[in-house]
A and B are shown apart, each in its own frame.
Chain A
């Protein structure tokens, strides 16, 4: 990488955390993000997101299901380099 693209115009790995334990059937709905239920009663949705527009469309899905969104964060710059679990 010689230059830096402006933030958000390249794919990135994101984690969305919502309240409650989601059932497995949401995996397809959330474009095959990985779904991890935490002991604190929250669910993390992790995976690659194409760009900001795709991220916003995910956020709209969360909104449209009345889920309580706790956090959104970028956990890795691009596909294939997911770090922590």
Chain B
């Protein structure tokens, strides 16, 4: 039943039997090349024949081009929910061409709150690929008021391929970039003045289509009185059919000041037999009409026959399907009928709505039942209906729709219903109104306590409704999960873990979403404490449960977090395996163009950077960026800038790297994740690598860091950066002391070892080795280095060593001489020579050949040209200052003082 109701939404109305062919309007629409015009807009008040014209045009287009695809959507207030609108659009297009919309549908199914853009992009690509002309008709577009839906349509217009054409009918100008489309001649527009019937058209309509035989004088009088308004002419024709006194009617009508609709509808109604008249008045409350539904509402039989009669008599019913099961009244006519009915039979309105509601309920169309229950002010039943329909609407993620229903219910109904209270709390939680959440959760708990006191085990709702008791039974779990989320948002790690643990205790094995959420909160809380031994196995439960709940997009997004945890544990290979596996899964789920696919690419890119494979890193970064921001989760967007910065740094442009990190800072959103690698500390590491120690120590001071600090995991990255700074200061001033660096490293090491943070252990060992090397204590340095090498050889963590610059390279040479981990060391030294090494490395100590970074080589090649400095900078997309930095490094490395000398020396060394 629900499916056939949905189908009525896509029904292309057959041109009306008595409609007038209007070649003066349709012909220009046909001859306008659809390839150049993106939009046909028919904009006029109610009753001007917009829908009729569109359907006539569609029929003619099909005759002229049988291959054309037409998807017709009759919009209504429900389409203000963007998720619902997108679902309708995709289903409508998929319905006429099965080759279109599978990807978009997969995205809608896989995503918790589907972003519109990837879905639209998938649709657009399908249409472009299919090649056939595709017309999407959006009828009654004025029903849409929600900005996100307008944005989606504007996006579709902006990006529509030549094959795709939009046509819309609306009572008011849609808030779309119309002036731009007009300016570019990309739009065909018909307005009220165009749609108005001319005297000649009025004559043809009245006499030929409606079978009257009026004189030219009468025709022109009617045309003048109705001002060519189609609905007016049609009503006049209906009133005149079989009228004994035609001149009398026309005189009275044209001489009356009454609102034309009042006058004519009354005329038409008076000419109906009593039973038809009362049928019209009593069924006007219905958006859709079927025989059985009307029988129930009017409490009389024979409605199907009445509907057939109305259609044959052309009395403003529009068939909604080919089998003549469902009809609707012409909107304008329905509104007049409703106004009259509520005036003439006010006491009947509530019972009518109640009967409609009950009929819909018994036919499992619960949303329609809910709507009429609200109209009947039957709030108890409305609350029960909302509870019953809630699981289904939540599954289809029509959040805006639910928000609308909830706000239509009186507050005491919501508060008295535990399921609705918890759902309300969820809405508050997702909209960021955290203060309101706890109160609603307490309302729910009160309701639950009463229910259990009454011994109510199954959920019997008023009106014989049975809600999905699953939802009800799961309430205590859901409440605990939301409390965990609240505690998380408040930064209360202990509270988060306590509520999450309670949720896990309470929930059954099949309650996937709650399990995923609880495991997620517990895992994240353990991660924030730095307890990776707990965090990894706990958080690993998240993805399978999200998978079990059918939430693929979030499953993949959670894999990003798990990969980060494996990275903290020191396993690049496991992190990469997880991300690559997720990428494959995204592909086979058909959501390769949606979130979080771009994030997965960026994550893999970051890992390739660390294993010293910049080419692979670049390729993945590019894939991620090409997919666009829409294929990323907002809280992951900053990551692409971090990786870009990393690659720029590795290719010898620390200035650009710093700029990109600043961009990353601007994009940073914490979300639910602990900030374990703060971006300012990443910047400090670049300063340290460049020898800009003053900037770095300003940072350390601003962050109040000192070697004697108490240690927490959330500051570990900063403390490791501080240790680097202390070592670099010693390196710069051999008379200085290491300022407690060894003690700091030792304490960091113990903490990291105790909690399974293998990645930190590796980094600390490398820093210890470097510190000893800087102090000239080579034996101890090699000892620490050897431990680090053994631990990381299998992971191939190249940058861990090479990032530490010249002292580390020198130490690695010594390790090579001592035959320590010979194959990994030779791999590292090879990478140091061939890969992109750290910039600003002091030139060839130990008689090493001159090493220029890839970026420096690019600069050098351009210096070997007639381009001026600013031109070179432009060519490289860098500032003049950055170019100067590069040039200075090149001059230092080549030990020259001028551009010409640099080029000559580079040739001698075979670098150019």
Does A associate with B in a complex?
A: yes
Task: Please report A residues at the B interface, Cβ cutoff 8 Å.
Answer: 18-29, 37, 41, 43, 63-67
Contacts of A24 in B (CB 8 A): 343
Question: Is the CB of B835 closer than 8 A to any CB of chain A?
Answer: no
Please indicate the chain A residues that have their CB under 8 angstroms from the CB of B114 in the complex.
none
Among A19, A22, A27, A28, point to the contact of B262 (Cβ < 8 A).
Answer: A22
* Contact residues in A for B262 (Cβ distance below 8 Å): 20-23
A27 in contact with B343 (CB, 8 Å): yes
Q: Would you call B172 an interface residue if the criterion is a C-beta within 8 Å of the partner chain's C-beta atoms? A: yes
How long is the Cα–Cα vector from A60 to B74 in the complex, in angstroms? 19
Which B residues between 26 and 52 are near A, CB-CB below 8 angstroms? 45-48
**Is the C-beta of B332 less than 8 angstroms from some C-beta in chain A?**
yes
Cα separation A22 to B172 with both chains bound (whole Å):
23
* Contacting residue for A43 out of B47, B259, B346, CB 8 A: B259
- Judge whether B343 and A21 touch: CB under 8 Å: no
Query: Known contacts being A64-B335, A66-B47, A66-B231, is A28 close to B346, with CB within 8 Å?
Result: yes
In the complex the two chains form, what is the Cα distance from A25 to B281 in whole Å?
Answer: 13
Would A23 and B342 count as touching, CB distance under 8 A? no
Q: How far is the CA of A64 from the CA of B171 in the complex (A)?
A: 7
State how many angstroms separate the Cβ of B345 from the closest Cβ of chain A. Answer: 11
Residue of B nearest to A64 (CB): B46
In the assembled complex, B315 has its CB within 8 A of some CB on chain A: no
Q: Which among A25, A27, A29, A37 has the highest number of chain B CB atoms within 10 Å?
A: A25
| Across-interface contacts of B142 in A (CB, < 8 A) | 63
Alpha-carbon distance between A62 and B262 when the two chains are bound, in angstroms:
14
CA distance A43 to B266 in the complex (A): 19
- Inter-chain CA distance A43–B258, complex, in Å, is 10
Pick from B231, B260, B344: contact of A20, CB below 8 A.
B260
Whether B339 sits at the interface, judged by CB under 8 Å, is yes
Give a binary string over B260-284; 1 marks a CB under 8 Å from any A CB, 0 the rest: 1110001000000000000000000
Roughly how many angstroms separate A18 CA and B262 CA in the complex, as a whole number? 14
**Contact between A28 and B339 (Cβ–Cβ < 8 Å)?**
yes
Closest to A65 in B: B335
How far is it, in angstroms, between the C-alpha of A27 and the C-alpha of B344 when the chains are bound?
11
With both chains docked as a complex, state the minimum distance between the C-beta of A33 and any C-beta of chain B, in angstroms. 13
Beta-carbon nearest neighbor of A19 in chain B: B259
**Distance (Å) between the CB of A73 and the closest chain B CB?**
20
- Determine whether the beta carbon of A65 is less than 8 Å from that of B344: no
Residues of B participating in the A interface, judged by any CB pair closer than 8 Å: 45-48, 142, 171-172, 229, 231, 257-262, 266, 331-332, 335-336, 338-340, 342-344, 346
A-B contacts, 10 of them at CB < 8 A, read A21-B259, A22-B262, A23-B266, A25-B343, A29-B339, A63-B171, A64-B331, A64-B332, A66-B46, A66-B48
Beyond the given A29-B335, A63-B46, A64-B332, could you list 20 further A-B residue pairs with CB under 8 A, ordered by the A residue number?
A18-B259, A19-B259, A20-B257, A20-B262, A21-B259, A22-B259, A23-B258, A23-B259, A23-B262, A25-B339, A25-B342, A26-B339, A26-B343, A29-B339, A41-B257, A63-B171, A66-B45, A66-B47, A66-B261, A67-B259
A65 touching B336, Cβ below 8 Å: yes
| Minimum C-beta distance from B861 to chain A (A) | 62
- Give bound CA distance, A21 to B258, whole Å: 4
Instruction: Report B372 CB to chain A, min CB distance, Å.
Output: 18
Contacting pair B342 A29 (CB below 8 A) = yes
B332 cross-chain contacts in A, Cβ below 8 A:
64-66
> What's the Cα separation between A18 and B258 when bound, in Å?
11
CA distance A33 to B48 in the complex (A): 27
Chain A residues whose CB sits within 8 angstroms of the CB of B257 once the complex forms = 20-21, 37, 41
Q: Are A28 and B45 in contact (CB under 8 A)?
A: no
Decide yes or no: A63 and B258 within 8 Å by CB, A28-B339, A28-B342 being known contacts: no
Q: What B residues does A65 contact at CB under 8 A?
A: 46, 261, 332, 335-336
In the assembled complex, how far is the CB of residue A51 from the closest CB belonging to chain B, in whole angstroms? 16
Complex contact A63–B172 (CB within 8 A): yes
Rounded to whole Å, the gap between the CB of A30 and the closest CB of chain B is 9
Q: Tell me the complex Cα distance, A41–B331, Å.
A: 26
Q: How far is the CA of A23 from the CA of B336 in the complex (A)?
A: 11
- Report how far A79 CA is from B260 CA in the complex, Å: 32
Chain B residue at minimal CB-CB distance from A27: B343
Taken together as a complex, chains A and B put the C-alpha atoms of A18 and B259 apart, in Å, by 9
List of B residues within 8 angstroms of A19 by Cβ:
259
Contacts of A66 in B (CB 8 A): 45-48, 229, 231, 261, 332
B486: shortest Cβ distance to chain A, in Å?
Answer: 32
- Closest residue of chain B to A30 (Cβ to Cβ) is B339
Please give, as numbers and ranges, the residues of chain A lying within 8 Å of B344 by CB-CB distance: 25
CB distance from A72 to the nearest CB of B (A): 15
Report how far A67 CA is from B338 CA in the complex, Å.
16
With a cutoff of 8 Å between Cβ atoms, the chain A residues found around residue B266 in the complex are 23
Determine how close the nearest CB of chain B comes to the CB of A77; give it in whole angstroms. 28
Considering residues B261, B338, B342, B344, which has the most beta carbons from chain A within 10 angstroms of its beta carbon?
B261
Q: State whether A20 touches B342 (Cβ < 8 A).
A: no
CA A25 to CA B336, docked complex, whole Å: 9
**In the complex, what distance in Å separates the CA atom of A36 from the CA atom of B46?**
24
Check B259 against A25 for contact (C-beta < 8 Å). no
Most B CB contacts (10 A, CB to CB) among A19, A63, A65 go to A65
Report B-chain residues with C-beta under 8 Å of the C-beta of A18. 259
Chain B residues whose CB sits within 8 angstroms of the CB of A41 once the complex forms: 257
Interchain CA distance A74-B335 in the complex, whole Å: 27
Residues on A with C-beta less than 8 A from B47 are 66
Residues of A near B172 (CB, < 8 A) are 63
Contact residues in B for A64 (Cβ distance below 8 Å) = 46, 171, 331-332, 335
Per the bound structure, the CA–CA distance linking A22 and B266 in Å amounts to 12
Complex alpha-carbon distance, A20 and B256, angstroms: 9
Q: Whole-angstrom distance between the alpha carbons of A19 and B343 in the complex? A: 21
| Chain A residues with CB under 8 A of B331 | 64
Closest-CB distance, A17 to chain B (whole angstroms): 13
Which residues from chain A contact B335 at a C-beta distance below 8 Å? 29, 64-65
10 tightest A-B contacts by CB? A25-B343, A20-B259, A29-B339, A66-B46, A41-B257, A23-B262, A66-B45, A66-B47, A21-B257, A25-B340
- State A65–B579 Cα separation when bound (angstroms): 57
Bound-state Cα–Cα, A20 to B229, Å:
14
A61 nearest CB across to chain B (Å): 8
A59 CB to closest chain B CB (Å) equals 10
Which residue on chain A has the smallest CB distance to residue B336? A65
Chain B residues with CB under 8 Å of A21's CB are: 257-259, 262
In the bound complex, CA of A49 to CA of B782 (Å):
83
Chain A residues, CB < 8 A from B338: 29
Closest approach, in angstroms, between the C-beta of A1 and any C-beta of chain B? 30
Give CA–CA (A42, B339) in the complex, Å. Answer: 19
**Complex alpha-carbon distance, A24 and B346, angstroms:** 14
CA–CA, A55 to B335, complex, Å? 19
Which A residues touch B261, using CB under 8 A? 65-66
Q: How far is the CA of A43 from the CA of B250 in the complex (A)?
A: 23
Q: How far is the CB of B53 from chain A (nearest CB, A)?
A: 16
The residue on A at minimum CB distance from B260 is A20
| In the complex, chain A residues whose CB is within 8 Å of the CB of B229 | 66
Tell me, rounded to whole Å, the shortest Cβ–Cβ distance linking B88 to chain A: 22
Bound: A67/B229 CA distance, A: 11
Inter-chain contacts of A29 with B (CB < 8 A): 335, 338-339, 342-343
Chain A residue numbers with a CB within 8 Å of B346 are 28
C-alpha gap A27/B229 in the complex (Å): 24
Taking each of B258, B260, B339, B343, which has the highest tally of chain A beta carbons within 10 Å of its own beta carbon?
Answer: B339
A67 CB contacts on chain B under 8 angstroms: 259
Measured between alpha carbons, how far is A26 from B338 in the docked complex, in Å?
10
A24→B331 CA distance, assembly (Å): 21
Q: Could you tell me the distance in whole angstroms from the C-beta of A48 to the nearest C-beta in chain B?
A: 20
Nearest B residue to A28 via CB reads B342
Contact, CB under 8 Å: B258 / A20: yes
CA distance A37 to B262 in the complex (A): 14
Q: How far is the CB of A16 from chain B (nearest CB, A)?
A: 13
Residue of B nearest to A61 (CB): B335
In the docked arrangement, what's the CA distance between A23 and B256, Å?
13
* Nearest A residue (CB) for B227: A68
Which chain B residues border A25 with CB–CB below 8 Å?
339-340, 342-344
State in angstroms the CA–CA spacing of A29 and B342 once bound together.
Answer: 8
Instruction: Report how far A64 CA is from B344 CA in the complex, Å.
Output: 21
